[in-house]
A and B are shown apart, each in its own frame.
Chain A
Amino acid sequence: AQRVTQPEKLLSVFKGAPVELKCNYSYSGSPELFWYVQYSRQRLQLLLRHISRESIKGFTADLNKGETSFHLKKPFAQEEDSAMYYCALSGSGNTPLVFGKGTRLSVIA
């Protein structure tokens, strides 16, 4: 069964500090991992996906198959990064996205 775990419900950091949002997954095959973000009063939107290996808004995430993790990182947090972040996994074939319960990031000025 597919499972995504985000151990932190809430993460508070000061502006300019590094940020790491943790995501661990459970899946027997080769997954596709995503990070979605939901800013206040906005719809859920894709932030990045592991296959693109991009840096979006200064965020990066590396898939670590050995540790089954896909942590989201940013070296210097900005106030506009405050939002709800969801890690999601898609398995092979036409399987639905499975989401973690989300981590609320609060960046304090």
Chain B
Amino acid sequence: KAGVTQTPRYLIKTRGQQVTLSCSPISGHRSVSWYQQTPGQGLQFLFEYFSETQRNKGNFPGRFSGRQFSNSRSEMNVSTLELGDSALYLCASGAQYSNEQFFGPGTRLTVL
């Protein structure tokens, strides 16, 4: 079974721009979660989607948004980028009735 894939792997943007990150879950997984990973804060939960609906949301500003498509693929969007948004963004998928998360390799976002 193919693992979770994320594109692109690296991104460089400037302040004020917006960015869209993509995640393809493991086949059959309907839950997709997004996390922000930084050296100082570790992994912080952004949001989770299940069957195209946002099921949970973390404490991030409204500039961070996401969506999920009918094939379970998910996108995350960050608008009006700030320097502090520089981080590794991880996507994870999970099977129904399981709390185990399978992680993708991440997208490294650098905001200049």
Contacts and interface: CB of A to CB of B under 8 A. Distances in A.
Interface of A: 32, 34, 36, 43-46, 49, 86, 90, 94-102
Contacts of A100: 42
Give the interface centre of A46, A49, A94, A96 by most chain B CB atoms within 10 Å: A96
How would you classify the secondary structure of chain B's contact residues: helix, strand, loop or mixed? strand
Contact size range, B: 20 to 34
A46 B50 CA distance: 21
B99 to A, nearest CB: 4
7 contacts: A45-B103, A94-B50, A96-B48, A97-B101, A99-B43, A101-B41, A102-B42
Nearest to A91: B99
Contact of A96 (B3, B42, B56, B102): B56
Given A43-B106, A45-B103, A94 B42 contact: no
A32 B92 CA distance: 17
A96 B106 contact: no
A64 B111 CA distance: 42
Contacts of B35: 99
B100 A49 contact: yes
